[in-house]
Chains A and B, each alone.
Chain A
Amino acid sequence: MLRLHYNLEKLSMGMVVGIIVAASIGGAVEIAPLFTIDETVVAPDDLRPHTPLELAGREIFIREGCYACHSQMVRSLADEIDRYGPYSLAGESAWDHPMLWGSKRTGPDLARIGGKYSDAWHVAHLLDPRSVVPASIMPAYPWLTRSLDTRVLPGALATLAVLGVPYSEAMIDRAETDALAQSRPDSDAAEDVLARYGDAVALRSFDGDPSRLTELDALVAYLQSIGTLTAAAQEELEEAGK
């Protein structure tokens, strides 16, 4: 064995090939089956994709690095289920490019944050966290009151559609109007949002000011949607409790 290595280390290409082979096996065994074993991800029947406004909010969540302090992955541990809600299922993030499971909880997990607080609470919390949670160490995000740039949305939806997220032609074409309409429940286009994305989508002015579409609208719409895109996790937990 030693003799073999004694000769191998005289060959630079031999070392290169050896390193590549040795370093490929683990990844191949662990990653490749995740794409081929069907049970790995069971896509829930009721899963819906993010609306354009929620997607824009998700992009802001990424832009501001929120994921560095907030996970979105409830582990299957009793205290996490008691604190946050049903443990996360693979199917819930089946269409999430990228996933935002996170790795650190400087702040609490957000996988079940949707619907837990009011829009007004989120707006106040984002603009001045210590106004609603005096001991919070979260930074304030006062610039989120600026107008939302919706021009990137059709391209973003189209790209995600190529990657397998079920955005239809109409969803892509109407992405900008849908984003605006979701924050204006009285507008004619609001009905179209429900028709395209399902009746469970929240239609309202998330920042409390229907006259403008702001980054706050998008981010709060996203936060309120987290964990509500499918009921599968809740159903599974109830099933397990029986």
Chain B
Amino acid sequence: MTGTLSISERQVGLALAVALTLLGLVMAAAARQGPMAVHGAIAAALGLALVFRLGGALYDPEVPAGRRQRFYDAPTRFGIALTVIWAIIGMGVGVWVAALLYWPEATPPWPWTSFGRLRPVHTTGVIFGFGGNALIATSFHVLQRTARARLADSISPWAVLIGFNLFCIWAVTGYLMGSTQSKEYAEAEWYADLWLVVVWVTYFVLYMRTLARRAEPHIYVANWYYLAFILVVAMLHIVNNLALPVSLAGARSFPIWAGVQDAMVQWWYGHNAVAFFLTAGFLGMLYYFLPVRSGRPIWSYRLSIVSFWGIVFFYIWVGSHHLHYTALPYWVQTLGMTFSVMLLIPSWASAGNAIATLNGAWHKVRDDATLRFMFVAAVFYGLSTFEGSFLAIRPVNSLSHYTDWTVGHVHSGTLGWVAMIIFGAIYTLAPQLSGRETMAWPRAVEWHFWLAVTGALIYVVALWNAGITQGLMWRSYDDNGALSYSFLQSVMAMAPYYLMRTIGGALFLSGAILCALNTRATMRRATGAVRAWDRPLVPGPAE
């Protein structure tokens, strides 16, 4: 990090690190005990580590001249390292909690290892830690290449990455201590939410400033998606997390929303976290890395436009399909269902556009596991968006809701689509950023591909069976008009599926571990060579 910063940038960084340390100390001192005090201490420790790192390097030699003529890739490399670390944490906890459902006696007797506290560690770890870091890291790369401009400054990318990961650490350690807002995928407490807003504004400003410096008149499609991801996630995050803290010196707060309005706001957020965190951002990734890796231009420009605006406009409406047959007014449920079905059009337009892009490059899909990751991602994207529209239809939802079918659906999207496109992007980026032609262990990519596909399929098929079984058992009546099964019988019927899903998850996790080791080996064997064409048309700002 420090080697790529000029002396004056190191000074600014040092000032920011001191500020972070002070903020952490103030939090710890104000709270004195509980999660907020621990989080203050974590922030102070991180700030202090950065103070030493930057302070120690403050008078190292000035950064070599000519840096402005290069893209700024050090933050992307750092972000990719964080991505694979969070993949192991998030998926590892996921496999562990999956195992606990099959083998509940394995739960240790300590509060912080209980299923209910670990479950959000899994979701936050994979969505924000793994997915979020991948999005930020790749967005820096894609933004620079498609704008043909160096990042607008060298400090804010670090601030965004480090700040975002502090949020993730605050969130997951908070859950372990029992600090949670209970809103799914938005469990982090109020001060972590405020912190994320600051990080996000920094991210947006950096993105816009770099775009403003672009050497291309047109903004490439991938950036539309990354922009939608940044903007709409900010909107969702702020509205859903509006809360009144009990005290400024404590973690606990109460959401300002209550009852049915809270439910609607929560699922407006929840489903659009899927839309704009787990879909829009990753479509940005797809629209860049798929053409780059296959050597084929995007099949249809018009289809890109239709699908982009379709996704941005339609998705926002669909959250209420999480609340069919509940106390939410019927008309809102109907709107949610209708738009969910319509959403299939732009979703399949994107998936079809991606797959049609591979026309003329199918031999590469056969030979190149990295491209195959992207192809499989596009296929899973198409399948899980179809499944999503289907599950949103009211009578289908009456069977599937509250069951493991929903969990299976989510994982066909996250394992099959999101994780696969991330792995495709990492295997494209890691060699390029290391000045290499290939990953350090090319054969391991092939192994990873088959582990990932097998794991995802086992997982998803197991939970389809689990969910449909549950749904049917819950609604079965016998000839006397009584319910056929007790709830407990439906729990007992889940055992084989829960075991299978644990095995599927473990296979997927072992692939991710292979990816992490391969990425580490590749980056350690970096040559430092930069391809002649991989340079900005617009150099960095004058220094």
A contacts, CB < 8 Å to B: 2, 5-6, 9-10, 12, 15-16, 18-20, 22-27, 29-31, 34-35, 37, 39-41, 59, 62-69, 71, 73, 75-77, 79-80, 82-83, 88-109, 129-130, 133, 135-143, 152, 155-156, 158-160, 162-165
Give the shortest distance, in Å, between A222 (CB) and chain B (any CB).
Answer: 14
Can you report 23 residue pairs joining A to B where beta carbons are below 8 Å apart?
Answer: A2-B302, A5-B305, A9-B218, A20-B231, A22-B316, A23-B312, A23-B316, A24-B235, A26-B318, A30-B268, A62-B182, A63-B178, A77-B398, A92-B259, A97-B256, A97-B258, A98-B262, A99-B259, A105-B403, A139-B104, A142-B109, A152-B246, A159-B244
Chain B nearest CB, measured from A71 CB (Å): 6
Residues of B within 8 A of A19 (CB): 224, 227-228, 231-232, 312
**For residue A25, which residues in chain B have a CB less than 8 angstroms away from its CB?**
313, 316
Contact of B115 among A6, A27, A108, A139 (CB under 8 A): A139
Neighbouring A residues of B314 by C-beta, 8 Å: 26
Q: Is the CB of A71 within 8 A of B115?
A: no
Establish whether residues B402 and A71, one from each chain, have CB atoms under 8 Å apart when the complex forms. yes
Q: Among B182, B244, B256, B261, which residue has its beta carbon within 8 angstroms of that of A34? A: B261
Closest to B177 in A: A63
Q: Which listed residue, A10, A35, A88, A152, touches B252 by the CB 8 Å rule?
A: A152
Q: 1/0 contact trace for B280-312 toward A, CB 8 Å?
A: 000000000000000000000010010001001
* Chain B contact residue count (CB 8 A cutoff): 100
Assembly CA distance A88 to B263 (angstroms):
13
Residues of B within 8 A of A12 (CB): 208, 211-212, 219, 227
Among B109, B224, B402, the residue within 8 A (CB) of A104 is B402
A212 to B11, CA, bound (A): 56
B158 at the interface (CB under 8 A from A): no
B227 touches A16 (CB 8 A): yes
A99 near B313 (CB under 8 angstroms)?
no
- B350 an interface residue at 8 Å Cβ cutoff? no
A98 touches B254 (CB 8 A): yes
The 5 closest A-B pairs by CB, nearest first: A65-B116, A26-B316, A26-B317, A75-B325, A93-B259
- Chain A residues near B302 (CB, 8 Å)? 2
Q: Would A141 and B327 be within 8 Å (CB), given that A31-B261, A136-B488 are in contact?
A: no
B231 touches A30 (CB 8 A): no
Question: What separation, in Å, do the CA atoms of A34 and B258 have in the docked complex?
Answer: 11
A52 CB → nearest B CB, Å: 13
Cβ of B475 to closest chain A Cβ, rounded Å: 4
* B residues with CB within 8 A of A: 100-102, 104-105, 107, 109-111, 114-117, 119-120, 175, 178-184, 208, 211-212, 217-219, 224, 227-228, 231-232, 235, 239, 244-247, 250, 252-266, 268, 276, 302, 305, 309, 312-320, 322-329, 332, 335-336, 339, 398, 401-404, 406-407, 470, 474-475, 477, 482-483, 487-488, 491-492, 494
B104 & A79 in contact (Cβ 8 Å cutoff)? no
Q: How far is the CB of A32 from chain B (nearest CB, A)?
A: 10
Report the separation of the CA atoms of residues A96 and B268 in the bound assembly, to the nearest whole angstrom. Answer: 18
Q: Give the Cβ gap from A184 to chain B, nearest Cβ, in Å.
A: 26
Kindly list chain A residues whose C-beta atoms are within 8 Å of the C-beta of B326: 73, 75, 88, 101
Pair A108/B109 contact, Cβ less than 8 Å: no
Residues of A within 8 A of B182 (CB): 62, 65, 67, 98, 100
- How far does the Cβ of B102 sit from chain A's closest Cβ, in whole Å? 8
Considering the chains assembled together, what is the distance between the CA atoms of A152 and B256 in angstroms?
18
The reply to whether B488 and A88 form a contact with Cβ atoms under 8 Å apart is no
Q: A15, B227: Cβ atoms under 8 Å? A: yes
How far apart are the CA atoms of A140 and B222 in the complex, in Å? 48
Query: How many angstroms from the CA of A10 to the CA of B246 in the assembled complex?
Result: 47
- Which residues of chain B come closer than 8 Å to A39, judged between CB atoms? 329
**Residues A99 and B266 in contact in the complex (CB < 8 Å), given A34-B329, A155-B246, A156-B246:** yes
Contact A89–B114 (Cβ < 8 Å): no
- Given A23-B313, A79-B477, A97-B255, do A65 and B119 touch, yes or no (CB 8 Å)? yes
Tell me whether chain B's interface is mostly helix, strand or loop, or mixed.
helix
Task: State whether B259 touches A65 (Cβ < 8 A).
Answer: no
Q: Which residues of A contact B404 (CB under 8 A)?
A: 104, 106
A156 touches B252 (CB 8 A): yes
Name, among A9, A23, A40, the residue most crowded by chain B CB atoms within 10 Å (CB to CB).
A23
Which residues from chain B contact A97 at a C-beta distance below 8 Å? 254-258, 262
Nearest-CB residue, chain A, relative to B481: A82
Q: Chain B's nearest CB lies how many Å from the CB of A101?
A: 5
Q: Which residue of A lies closest to B225 (CB)?
A: A19
- Contacts A30-B320, A101-B263 aside, 17 further interface pairs with beta carbons under 8 A come to A10-B217, A10-B218, A22-B313, A23-B231, A27-B239, A30-B336, A39-B329, A67-B182, A73-B327, A75-B326, A83-B474, A83-B483, A93-B263, A94-B260, A98-B257, A104-B402, A160-B254
Q: Say how far B256's CB is from chain A's closest CB, in angstroms.
A: 6
Tell me if A69 and B116 are in contact (CB < 8 A): yes
Residues of A within 8 A of B403 (CB): 104-105
Q: Is the CB of A135 within 8 A of B492?
A: yes
Q: How far is the CB of A49 from chain B (nearest CB, A)?
A: 11
Q: Would you give the shortest CB distance from B411 to chain A, in whole angstroms?
A: 13
**Chain A residue with the shortest CB-CB distance to B112:** A143
Kindly list chain B residues whose C-beta atoms are within 8 Å of the C-beta of A165: 258
Separation of A156 and B250 alpha carbons in the complex (Å): 11
Please tell me if the beta carbons of B268 and A31 are within 8 angstroms of each other in the complex.
Answer: yes
A82→B100 contact, CB < 8 A: no
- Are A99's CB and B263's CB within 8 A? yes
Chain A's nearest CB lies how many Å from the CB of B327? 4
Are B317 and A30 in contact (CB-based, < 8 A)?
yes
Q: How far is the CA of A102 from the CA of B335 in the complex (A)?
A: 21
Partner of A22, one of B184, B211, B309, B318: B309
**Which residue of A is nearest B327, CB measured?**
A90
Flag if A64 contacts B114 (CB, 8 Å). yes
Among A65, A90, A98, A102, point to the contact of B255 (Cβ < 8 A). Answer: A98
- Pick from B117, B208, B258: contact of A64, CB below 8 A: B117
Identity of the chain A residue whose Cβ is nearest the Cβ of B111 in the assembled complex? A143
User: Is there an interface contact between B116 and A22, defined as CB atoms closer than 8 Å?
Assistant: no
- CB-nearest residue of chain A to B258: A97
Closest Cβ of chain A to B215, distance in Å, is 13
Question: What A residues does B305 contact at CB under 8 A?
Answer: 2, 5
| A170, chain B: closest CB distance, angstroms | 19
Name which residue of chain A comes closest to B147, CB basis.
A12
Nearest-CB residue, chain A, relative to B255: A98
Residues of B within 8 A of A106 (CB): 101, 404, 491
CB <8 Å contact, A159 and B254: yes
Give the residues in chain A near B336, CB-CB below 8 Å: 30
Assess the A75–B116 pair: CB atoms within 8 A.
no
Chain B: CB-nearest residue to A142: B109
Known: A12-B212, A22-B313, A23-B235. A96 touches B259 (CB 8 A): yes
Name the distance in Å between B331's Cβ and chain A's nearest Cβ: 9
